[in-house]
Structure 1
Amino acid sequence: MSTIENLEKKINDTSATIGIVGLGYVGLPLMLRYNEIGYNVIGFDIDENKVNLLNDGKSYIEHISSTKITTATKRGFKATSDFSNISGCDVIILCVPTPLNKYREPDLSFVINTTEMIQPYLRKGQLISLESTTYPGTTEEELLPRIETKGFTVGQDIFLVYSPEREDPGNPNFETRTIPKVIGGHTQFCLRAGEAIYSKAIDKIVPVSSTKAAEMTKLLENIHRAVNIGLVNEMKIVADKMDIDIFEVIDAAATKPFGFTPYYPGPGLGGHCIPIDPFYLTWKAREYGINTRFIELSGEINRAMPEYVLNKIIDALNSQKKSILESKILILGIAYKKNVDDMRESPSVELMELLKQKGAVISYSDPHVPTFPKMRKHHFTLTSEKITKENLLSFDAVVIATNHDGFDYDLVKNNSRLIIDTRGVYRTSEPNIIKA
C-alpha cells in the first residue's frame, strides 16, 4: 500500500490522529468538529494557560461553551504544549496568527517558528495543512524547504496543503461544517490527502490548482471586503458634509435586486483579517514591481476612521461648550464586531487611545468583555460599566462604537446627554444624537 493510500485509509476509518496547532478562534472550532465526528484530536499551543483551561474542560472563547470543551475531553481530546507529540499525529493543521509588524509588513514569525517546532517530529505519511492567512507563495517558500530538510519528498513521503480558514465568529448562520473549504496542494497527491481529511468534516470542498491559488483566494475574499468598506466609509464622509444620512442611502440602494451588495461604515476596521490581510498582498506585489494603489488607498481610508470619529466627538462637545479635556466619555462596545468578545485590531480601542491622548476620561461598556484584556499594543485598567439611567447621565458623551444586540438603545437614547453613533443604530434625527 502506498503512502497516500495508507493515509487515506486511516482518515476513512477515523483511526488517524489529528494535531491542531494554535487553539484560538480558528483552531478550537476545528478541533471540536473533528472530535465530534470521531477522530482522536491533540491540540497544541504555546500558551500554557490555554492548555490548562482546555484540559480542565473550560473555554476561553465566549461563543464556544465550556460544555463543548468538557464533552470533547471526555471523547479523548487533550491539549499540550509538548510538540514531541507531533510524531504521533497523522494530520497536522496549523492555525497560528499572521499579524503585521510595526512597519505594516507581514510578520510570519508564528508560522516559521511553529514549522521549526514541529519539524524535528515529522515522519513519513503525515499531512501538513497551513490555514493561516498569508501572501501567495508562503507554503512553498517557507514550509516546503523546512519539511524537505528532513529528507522527505513532498507529495510522496509527506503531504503539504494550504487551506485558508473561513471562520466568522458571532454569525449564527454558519459553522465550521457549513462553510465551503478551499484547498490547494503542492502536488496532486497532496491535494488528494487534503480533500480526504477536510471532506470528512466540511460539507463542501473547493479544490484549486495550487497552494498559491488557495493563498490568493483568501486574500481576494478579504480585500474585496476591505475595499468596499473603504468605499462606503469615504461615502459616509461625503454624505455627512452634504447633510445626508449614509445609512438611509445604503438601505435604499440595497433594494436593487442585482448589481449591489450593501456594506456599512463604522469607526474603522477590526478583526484579525480585514485590516491586515490586504497588506500581505501589497507587500508581496512589490516583489513583482506592482503597486497595489487601490488596495492601499482603501487601507488608508479605513485606518483614518477612528480619527474621523474623534473629530466628530470634539465638534459635538464644542457645540455644547465643552472641551474634550477631562470630559467623561463612555465607549459602548469595544469588541471589533457585534455580539462577539474578539478584541483583535478593534477600532474601538484605537479610538480610546486617541481620546486618552486628548485628555478625556475614558470608560467602556461591553457585555462580551467584562474586563479589558491584556493586549500587545493597548493597556487600559478598566472593567465594563453597567448601563443604567444614573450611570449614563454621569457621562458627557456616549460613543456607540460596536452595536451589540445586548445594549438597551432606548435606555441609552433617553438618558444620555450626547450620543455619537458610528454604527447607524439610530435612524431618526434627535437633538442629542450625532451621526459619525
Structure 2
Amino acid sequence: MSVDVVVIGLGYVGLPLAQQALRAGLSVVGFDINTAVVDALNGGISHVDDLSDGDVAEMLQCGFRATADETEIGAAATTVISVPTPLSEDGGPDLEAVKAAAGSVARNLRHGMLVVLESTTYPGTTDELVRPILEKSGLLAGVDFFLAFSPERIDPGNEHYGTHNTPKVVGGDTAESTERAAAFYGRFVETIVRTKGTREAETAKLLENTYRHINVALVNEMARFCHELSIDLWDVINAASTKPFGFQAFYPGPGVGGHCIPIDPNYLSHNVRARLGYPFRFVELAQEINATMPTYVASRAQNILNDAGIAINGATVLLLGVTYKPNIADQRESPAVPLARRLTALGAKVSYHDPRIERWTAAGFDIPKTDDLEGAVASADLVILVQNHREYDANRLAAMAKRFFDTRGATSGEESQRL
C-alpha cells in the first residue's frame, strides 16, 4: 500500500511535520530507529513539547503510525529526512544519522520518489553526501528520482508560528526537483520560498541562525561593560526598540542554548575553514563571547554574595528554570548546565526549581530539586533566575528573596540585580 510521505526521524522537527501533513489529508508513516519512541507514539504518547498526547491520539485517528521497519520507506511518494545533526568533536556537524537515513532510503528508493533533507548541515551536504548514497541504488537524481533540501524552521514553544504558517524554503538539485518539493510542502504550508538550488537553501538556514548568534553575542558583551559603567542595558534596549526602522531587539542572557543557535553557526564556520582555509571571524568571536556567559554569570553571583559578606564556598544558590527556552521542557545545550558546574566548582551548594524538569544532571551528578518554590527562594543565600517560565512572578519572587540575580530582564524593582 502506498503512502504520501514517510518522515524519517520523529523528533521535534519530524513529528510536527507529520502532524501538519495529516491535517492536510496526506497519508503519513513515521520511521525512527528508536523503538521506544515508535512504541510510545503508537500508544498515543508524545515525547516533544509542541505536541501533547492528545495531538498524537488525533494523528493516530487520522491514520498515522510509527514504524522501525525501513522497508516501509519504499511505499512513499515522498520521503523527508529530519534526523539530528549534532556537533562532532572537530566542530563540524556529525552526519552519521543523515548517512544512516540516506542509506535506509537508498535501499528502498523507487522511481519517481521525492527525497527531501531537512536536517541542518553545511552547504553541499545534499549534493555531495546524500545524493551519492541514494544513487548507490542505481537510480539517478533528477532523472529517476527527485532530491531537494528544505531547512527546518521549528521554534519549540512558539505559540504563534508553527509548521503551517512559517514560510518553507525549498531548493532542489534540479528545477523540477524544486517544483516537486514546492508542490509537496504547498499542500500543508501557507508560503513556499524557492531558492536556486540545494546549497542556497542549506546556507539560508545557517544565515538565519548566524544572524541571531552574532547579535546575541553583541548584547551579551554590552551587558558586561554596561554593568561596569552602571548603565541599565535593558532600559537601553527598550529605548532603542522604539526606532521603527533599522533596529531589531536582542537580549542578553546567561548563555545560548537549544540545537540551533549554539550549534548551527559552527557548521558554517567549520565549512569555511575546511574548504577555504580561513576563519569566519564573526562567528568564532560570537561563539567565544556566548560560551563564556555562564562563567560571567557565576562571577557576578560570587560578587553579589561577596558584597553581602558571604563567601560563595558553602553558600546556597537556587537556580530558577534550567531549560534552554521558557515554557518548554527542552534542555538541549542549556546554559544552566555550565552555570551549575561553575558555581559548584566555586563551592556553592546548588539546587534548582523548574516546573517542567523532574530530574536534572549537571556537574557530573544530580542537582537537588526543590518543589517548595517560595520556601526555597526565601531561604537561599542567592536566587538566580536562569529561565523565566510563565509560572514565575519574577518581581514577587525577587521581593521574597534575600538576594535575587535576574539574568533575563524579567524584574523591574530594586529588589533584584539584573544582568
Q: Fold conserved (TM > 0.5)?
A: yes
Say whether 1:400 aligns with 2:385. yes
C-alpha distance in structure 2 between counterparts of 1:383 and 1:22, whole Å: 33
C-alpha distance in structure 2 between counterparts of 1:171 and 1:208, whole Å: 26
Deviates more, 1:173-182 or 1:414-423: 414-423
The within-5 A match list for 1:262-411 is 262-286=249-273, 287-372=275-360, 379-382=364-367, 384-411=369-396
Say whether 1:181 aligns with 2:168. yes
Paired position in structure 2 for 1:260: 247
Deviation, structure 1 residue 241: 0.8
Which consecutive aligned stretches of 4+ in structure 1 deviate over 6 angstroms post-superposition? none
Deviates more, 1:178-187 or 1:109-118: 109-118
Are 2:395 and 2:410, in contact at CA under 8 Å, matched by a contact in 1?
A: no
Say whether 1:149 aligns with 2:100. no
Q: Number of aligned pairs?
A: 418
Are 1:389 and 1:411, in contact at CA under 8 Å, matched by a contact in 2?
A: no
- Which amino acid is the alignment partner of residue 417 of structure 1? K
Are 2:114 and 2:147, in contact at CA under 8 Å, matched by a contact in 1?
A: yes
Aligned residue among 183, 189, 193 for 2:180: 193
- Which amino acid is the alignment partner of residue 113 of structure 1? A
Indicate the SS of the match to 2:123.
Answer: coil
The within-5 A match list for 1:161-172 is 161-172=148-159
The within-5 A match list for 1:214-229 is 214-229=201-216
Deviation, structure 1 residue 104: 2.3
C-alpha distance in structure 2 between counterparts of 1:134 and 1:124, whole Å: 26
Paired position in structure 2 for 1:434: 417
The CA RMSD measured in Å over matched residues stands at 1.7
Aligned residue among 68, 71, 81 for 1:84: 71
Are 1:134 and 1:277, in contact at CA under 8 Å, matched by a contact in 2?
A: yes
Aligned residue among 390, 397, 401 for 1:412: 397
Indicate the SS of the match to 2:107.
Answer: helix
- Shift of the 389–192 alpha-carbon distance from structure 1 to 2, 3 Å rule, reads closer
Are 1:370 and 1:383, in contact at CA under 8 Å, matched by a contact in 2?
A: no
- Which amino acid is the alignment partner of residue 251 of structure 2? Y
Superposed CA deviations along residues 192-239 of structure 1, whole A, max 9, x for unmatched, are 210111000100000011000000100100000001001111111111
C-alpha distance in structure 2 between counterparts of 1:358 and 1:423, whole Å: 23
- Which amino acid is the alignment partner of residue 206 of structure 1? V
- Shift of the 312–59 alpha-carbon distance from structure 1 to 2, 3 Å rule, reads same
Deviation, structure 1 residue 384: 4.4
Q: TM-score, normalised by structure 2?
A: 0.96
Superposed CA deviations along residues 155-202 of structure 1, whole A, max 9, x for unmatched, are 121111000001111111112100000000001121121011100010
Superposed CA deviations along residues 252-284 of structure 1, whole A, max 9, x for unmatched, are 000011111110000011110011111101111
Q: TM-score, normalised by structure 1?
A: 0.92
**Gaps spanning 5+ residues in structure 1: where?**
1-9
Indicate the SS of the match to 2:58.
Answer: helix
Paired position in structure 2 for 1:210: 197
C-alpha distance in structure 2 between counterparts of 1:129 and 1:372, whole Å: 36
C-alpha distance in structure 2 between counterparts of 1:82 and 1:381, whole Å: 36
**Gaps spanning 5+ residues in structure 2: where?**
none
Deviation, structure 1 residue 130: 0.6
Aligned residue among 126, 143, 147 for 2:113: 126
C-alpha distance in structure 1 between counterparts of 2:372 and 2:406, whole Å: 16
Deviation, structure 1 residue 408: 2.5
- Shift of the 410–240 alpha-carbon distance from structure 1 to 2, 3 Å rule, reads closer
Aligned residue among 94, 107, 116 for 2:81: 94
Deviation, structure 1 residue 411: 3.5
Are 1:182 and 1:214, in contact at CA under 8 Å, matched by a contact in 2?
A: yes
Indicate the SS of the match to 1:90.
Answer: strand
